[in-house]
C-alpha cells in the first residue's frame, strides 16, 4: 500500500491506557512528518475523515463500530488498536501497535473490505451497520411475530424475542451468542438468526449477498425496535423494515499475516480438538 501521509486518530478516553497509547503513537507519526489530527468526541462528526489517508482507532470494538459509517462513506481505512476486551475488529494489541506502527505508516499493510448492511425503516430513513441489525419488540419481555420475505418470496414467520441479521464480520458478535454460525469475513452472505424462537427447531438462514430482505411486524399492539451494531436505534415509521447489503464497504487495515480464524481461536478460546482421558 502507499505510505500514509495524513493520519486521523479517534481515541476512546474511557478505556484504560488509551490516551497514553495515543500519545505514543502520535509521537511516532509526528517524527515521521505526517499531518495529524485527533479527537475523543463521540459520535464522530460527519466529514471528520474526508480527505485523510487513514484513521487509527484506539479503544474497543465498540469504538471502531462508532467510526465505521464515516470510514465507509469516505473510504478511509481504519487501523484498530485494542484497549477493550475481545478485539475482533481492533486487531492490533498495544504492543503490536508500538512495534509495528512505523512499518504500517510506511505502507506495510493490506486492506480487508468488510460487508455492511443498509437498513431502511421508512421513507428516507436509512442507516448502515457493520455487525448486525436487530429487530425486536420495544418491550424487552414481549414476544414478537415477524414475517420475513427474501426477494418477494416468503421465507417464514417467527414468534420469538427478535431476529438478528448479521454480516460475516458480525457473525462472531450477537449472532454467535444467539446460536448463529461463524462466517468468514469474505463470505459475502447475510445470516438471519432468531432469538429464543417459540419452536422446537431453531436454525439460522444464510442469504446470498444481493438479497433484498423485508420484515413485517405481524404482532398486535406491538412496536418494533430496530438497533444497529448495538449502538443506534432507528425510528420505525411503517412496515416493512428493509435490509440489504450496502454498496459501501468498510476498509479495515490489517497486517499481511492477518488470519481470521487465528483471531477466533484466540479470542473465543476455540478448538476443534477432543479432550483426552482424565
| Total number of domains in the chain | 2
Q: Is 128 found in the same domain as 76?
A: no
Same domain, 124 and 203: yes
Quick check: is 275 in a domain? no
18 and 61 belong to one structural domain:
yes
pLDDT at res. 274 = 60
Backbone angles phi, psi at 72, to 5 degrees: -65, -40
> Which member of 61, 112, 137, 161 is catalytic?
61
DSSP string, 1-24: -PPP-EEEEEE-TTSTTHHHHHHH
One domain for residues 234 and 172: yes
- How big is the chain by its Cα radius of gyration, in Å? 20
Name the stretches of the chain with pLDDT < 50: none
In a domain, 129, yes or no: yes
Burial class (CB in 10 A: 0-12, 13-18, 19+), 84: buried
**pLDDT at site 278:** 53
Any domain includes 86: yes
Q: Is residue 64 part of a domain?
A: yes
Domain that holds residue 180: 117-245
CA 226 vs. chain centroid, Å, equals 16
> Are residues 68 and 18 located together in one domain of the fold?
yes
Q: Is residue 167 part of a domain?
A: yes
Q: Does 226 share its domain with 193?
A: yes
CATH number at residue 187: 2.60.200.30
pTM, whole model, 2 decimals?
A: 0.92
Q: Which residue has the cell 420475513?
A: 148
What DSSP element (H or E) covers 246?
Answer: none
Does 136 share its domain with 233? yes
pLDDT at 273 (0 to 100): 64
Q: Measured between alpha carbons, how far is 236 from 191 in angstroms, rounded to an integer?
A: 22
One domain, residues 69 and 169: no
* 98 close to 25: Cβ distance less than 8 angstroms: yes
Phi then psi dihedrals of residue 200, to 5 deg: -80, -15
Q: Distance between CA atoms of 245 and 61, rounded to whole angstroms?
A: 21
Bond preceding residue 99 cis, omega within 30 of 0:
no
Q: Are residues 109 and 122 in the same domain?
A: no
Residues 128 and 236 in one domain: yes
Domain contains 76:
yes
CA angle at 35 for the pair 106 and 76, rounded to the nearest 5°: 70
Q: Same domain for 190 and 254?
A: no
Q: Is 152 a catalytic residue?
A: no
Amino acid at each position: 500500500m502507499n505510505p500514509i501521509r495524513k493520519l486521523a486518530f479517534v481515541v476512546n478516553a474511557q478505556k484504560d491506557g488509551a490516551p497514553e497509547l495515543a500519545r505514543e503513537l502520535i509521537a511516532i507519526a509526528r517524527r515521521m512528518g505526517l499531518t495529524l489530527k485527533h479527537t475523543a468526541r463521540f459520535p464522530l462528526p460527519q466529514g471528520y475523515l474526508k480527505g485523510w489517508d487513514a484513521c487509527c482507532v484506539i479503544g474497543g470494538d465498540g469504538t471502531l463500530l462508532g467510526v465505521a459509517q464515516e470510514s465507509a462513506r469516505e473510504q478511509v481505512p481504519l487501523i484498530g488498536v485494542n484497549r477493550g476486551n475481545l478485539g475482533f475488529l481492533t486487531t492490533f494489541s498495544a504492543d503490536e501497535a508500538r512495534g509495528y506502527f512505523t512499518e504500517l505508516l510506511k505502507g506495510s499493510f493490506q486492506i480487508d473490505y468488510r460487508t455492511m448492511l443498509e437498513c431502511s425503516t421508512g421513507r428516507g430513513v436509512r442507516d448502515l451497520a457493520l455487525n448486525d441489525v436487530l429487530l425486536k419488540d420495544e418491550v424487552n419481555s414481549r414476544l414478537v411475530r415477524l414475517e420475513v420475505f427474501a426477494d418477494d418470496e416468503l421465507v417464514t414467520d417467527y414468534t420469538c424475542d427478535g431476529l438478528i441479521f448479521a454480516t460475516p464480520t458480525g457473525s462472531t458478535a450477537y449472532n454467535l451468542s444467539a446460536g448463529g454460525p461463524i462466517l468468514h469475513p469474505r463470505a459475502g452472505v447475510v445470516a438471519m438468526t432468531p432469538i429464543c424462537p417459540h419452536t422446537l427447531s431453531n436454525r439460522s438462514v444464510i442469504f446470498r449477498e444481493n438479497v433484498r430482505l423485508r420484515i413485517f411486524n405481524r404482532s398486535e399492539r406491538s412496536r418494533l425496535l430496530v438497533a444497529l451494531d448495538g449502538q443506534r436505534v432507528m425510528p420505525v415509521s411503517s412496515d416493512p423494515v428493509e435490509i440489504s447489503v450496502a454498496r459501501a464497504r468498510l476498509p479495515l487495515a490489517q497486517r499481511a499475516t492477518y488470519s481470521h480464524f487465528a483471531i477466533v481461536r484466540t479470542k473465543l478460546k476455540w478448538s476443534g480438538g477432543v479432550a483426552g482421558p482424565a
